[in-house]
Amino acid sequence: MRVSGDVKKVVLAYSGGLDTSIILKWLQTTYGCEVVAFTADLGQGEELEPARKKAELLGCREIFVEDLREEFVRDFVFPMMRANALYEGVYLLGTSIARPLIAKRQIEIARATGADAVAHGATGKGNDQVRFELSYYALEPEIRVIAPWREWTFKSRTDLIDFAEKNQIPVAKDKRGEAPFSVDANLLHSSSEGKVLEDPAEEPPAYVFQRTLSPEEAPDQATVIEIGFEHGDAVSIDGVRLSPATLLAKLNELGKANGIGRLDLVENRFVGMKSRGVYETPGGTILHVAHRAMESITLDRGAAHLKDELMPRYAELIYNGFWFSPEREMLQALIDKSQGAVTGGVRLKLYKGNVIVIGRESPNSLYSTKIVTFEDDAGAYDQKDAQGFIKLNALRLRLLAARNKGLDR
């Protein structure tokens, strides 16, 4: 297992923005290597063709611009949604879940183009560097990884801008100063961090939110929708069958309009520090609530509680960048095993930030009115059974109490 020191060709996760353009040029000048630019459409809501042109201008001969939205939702977002994954009780992992897909494509492109290295634009303080690099290594153990932000000697924004200008990288006027916060976006969420958000005692300024209306701005009238599920995955809205990415996009619209999915969080990064993030996950928030409701009538208690107990671990693995790890895959096998009958429909009321379940139905429902009813159940459930159930559940506690009281036992 050897990693070569020399770099001949590197596949860069390239957004087309100023920072990754600087990285692109820096890789060329520092390593004297060829750079393959890879730009993925994960639903971040930007035109990608300009990125292609910019990469051409910067001298790339191999450029990959790919629409990965369906793969992203189908193979990454949906499996995670099956787990009801929440990091630290609340965060829907919108950034975390995108990194392994980008990394995977970089590795595939490296193989296809004969590149011997990969590079990304994540800084040395965050989680994303970890997520990218663990994914690279897990897929291609001998790959050379370049993390420019950890390597270069630029000390300030000014240094970067200087480098850009010296290298004919166009710098938009509004990029000269430092951005008031930093953003990541994809079909599942937008995240904002840094600068104006650095004091967790201060409310985020309104201009930070880009993806959702505030609850206050949302309409006074609720929107009612029905999401259809098959085997744990959402497949339709209001009876209209939609592909994974189309469905999530539609939920994003609905969530945005109704002020749904904002989160202001102080979280624990894998690298050991606390950070403050503002997240907007409109469609994902709706999906999360709907999936739990769908499971509530179709999953057995044993299955549901086991999932709940393992969920924090699963979410932590994704957050920390271990998507491509045996333990994540083992947990996924466990989760997927439970989803066969998670089929049916959930009706929701979306209203000013609230996602309210107002109905769930399934051909596979385990809810039995006959048994639960307050009315005569015609013998479906024998209340006498409860006595034995309680008596034997109590037995060990009674022995313990007798012991503690010094009673005969």
Within 56-85, the residues that bind a copy of itself by CB under 8 A are 84
- Neighbour count for residue 368 (Cβ, 10 Å): 11
Does residue 61 carry a catalytic annotation? no
Within 234-273, the residues that bind a copy of itself by CB under 8 A are 262, 264-268, 271-273
69, 82, 99, 105: the active-site residue = 99
Does residue 128 carry a catalytic annotation? yes
* Helix H or strand E encompassing 22: helix 18-31
CA 355-319-283 angle, to 5 degrees, is: 25
**Quick one: which of 47, 89, 168, 172 contacts a copy of itself (CB under 8 A)?**
89
**Quick one: which of 18, 51, 147, 251 contacts a copy of itself (CB under 8 A)?**
147
Q: Is 4 annotated as a binding residue?
A: no
- Neighbour count for residue 179 (Cβ, 10 Å): 14
Does 409 engage in binding with a copy of itself (CB under 8 A)?
Answer: yes
Q: Is 131 annotated as a binding residue?
A: yes
**Quick one: which of 282, 322, 343, 350 contacts a copy of itself (CB under 8 A)?**
322
* Positive or negative: CA dihedral 211, 216, 220, 226: positive
Q: Spell out the alpha helix ranges (H) of 194-300.
A: 244-257, 282-298
d(CA 6, CA 13): 20
d(CA 29, CA 20): 14
Does 206 engage in binding with a copy of itself (CB under 8 A)?
Answer: no
User: Closest CB to a copy of itself among 240 and 380?
Assistant: 380
CB of 8 to a copy of itself, least distance (A): 20
Does 165 engage in binding with a copy of itself (CB under 8 A)?
Answer: no
Does residue 182 carry a catalytic annotation? yes
Does 389 engage in binding with a copy of itself (CB under 8 A)?
Answer: yes
**Quick one: which of 27, 73, 334, 343 contacts a copy of itself (CB under 8 A)?**
334
Stretch that binds a copy of itself, among 6-14, 230-238, 241-249, 309-317 (CB under 8 A): 309-317
211 within 8 A of 279, measured Cβ to Cβ: no
CB of 362 to a copy of itself, least distance (A): 9
**Cβ-Cβ contacts under 8 Å for 347 (sequence gap 6 or more):** 224, 225, 226, 357, 358, 359, 360
* Positive or negative: CA dihedral 281, 283, 284, 286: positive
d(CA 156, CA 162): 10
Does 297 engage in binding with a copy of itself (CB under 8 A)?
Answer: yes
Does 139 engage in binding with a copy of itself (CB under 8 A)?
Answer: yes
Does 191 engage in binding with a copy of itself (CB under 8 A)?
Answer: no
Does 112 engage in binding with a copy of itself (CB under 8 A)?
Answer: no
User: Closest CB to a copy of itself among 149 and 163?
Assistant: 149
Taking alpha carbons only, the member of 35, 80, 53, 10 closest to residue 339 is 80
Q: Which residues are annotated as a binding site for L-citrulline?
A: 91, 96, 127, 131, 182, 191, 267, 279
Which residues participate in catalysis according to the annotation? 19, 99, 128, 182
